[in-house]
Structure 1
Amino acid sequence: MMTKTREQKTEECCPKFHPEKWDNKTFNWNNKPFIKASVPTFFHIPYPPMIGKQLTRMMKMAENSKMITANKEDVLVLFSDPHPFKSEILLSVNGSVHDATNTTLTGTFMSKVFDGNYNAIPKFIKEMDAHLESKKQEG
């Protein structure tokens, strides 16, 4: 979060993340609406300024279409890494957004929160795989 002096307006780059809303949760979605965009990566490593620019553009499009939730802390941003040189960003919306790539997700999704450096992602993937496998044994 970026703040300025009292006389200047306070700007917020993105809502505060509340891990308890997402850790060890299951979500059942039926055509949950999102808008989709992509950003360049270099061997799966994102270039942070490009992510910020793309998210800002996506948020403005959703706000202009009045399809973003009023409580910004309920906005969900998902990343997919289908290619070494491209990541996809999904931003949750309330309906179709004009001039955006609109898509939906349907299914049962389980989430778990991990905190650490980017180079720890392979370890987190293994932990998530083990977590999902344990849930399959319980269900």
Structure 2
Amino acid sequence: MDTPYPSETGCCPKFDPTPWQDREHHWTDKPFIKDRVGCFCYIPLTFGRAMRRCGAHLERGKAFTPAPPLVLSDHTSRWNMDIYIEVPHPVPGADNVTLSGTFLSKVFKGSYRETANWGREMEAWAASQGQTVKRHLMYYTYCPKCARHYGENPVVYFVEV
């Protein structure tokens, strides 16, 4: 799948952290398509395959968002991760879902080994606002190849409160 978004790499577009840093988002029936990724101890094994399936749905359904879409990852266990790709409308043949609620987001940079620390920081931030975290979602902004190209690996960490 060729990306319709301008990019130096022909893959992941340059990430702008501004809309995601220290923000609160209110979503009502925000549309996504969903797929599953097999993991081993939280390490995604079939991410590329899931993205190719979703890409085919996006192309067939003409469902590309005007700006690069959110691609949210929900690690439901050590063995599974659900991915949610933002779409502008329901996509025929895909697992269409919506997300509603209040979400806090913050941008982190560093190794994925820091994920647990980022989660604790998000929990503390939510608690400081008198909120309780319901679930954690992550937006990995670059694939490994593009992270090397851009020289950074920003991850947007979302918590639903």
Could you say which residue in structure 2 is the equivalent of 1:57? 53
Q: Deviation per CA, 1:51-86, whole angstroms, max 9, x where unpaired?
A: 233223313312321222133x3x101000111111
Match among 31, 34, 37 for residue 36 of structure 1: 34
Instruction: Tell me by how many angstroms 1:11 deviates.
Output: 6.1
Gaps of 5+ in 2: 1-7, 132-161
Code of the aligned partner of 1:62? L
Matches of 1:136 and 1:63, distance apart in 2 = 42
Gaps of 5+ in 1: 1-9
Q: Normalized per residue, which structure has more strand?
A: 2
Q: Deviation per CA, 1:65-116, whole angstroms, max 9, x where unpaired?
A: 1222133x3x101000111111110000011111110100011111111111
Could you say which residue in structure 2 is the equivalent of 1:20? 18
Q: Which runs of 4+ in 1 moved over 4 A?
A: none
Q: Normalized per residue, which structure has more helix?
A: 1
Greater RCO, CA 8 A, separation 6+: 1
Structure number with larger C-alpha Rg: 1
Q: Percent identity?
A: 37
Matches of 1:103 and 1:55, distance apart in 2 = 16
Aligned residues: CA RMSD? 1.8
Matches of 1:52 and 1:16, distance apart in 2 = 20
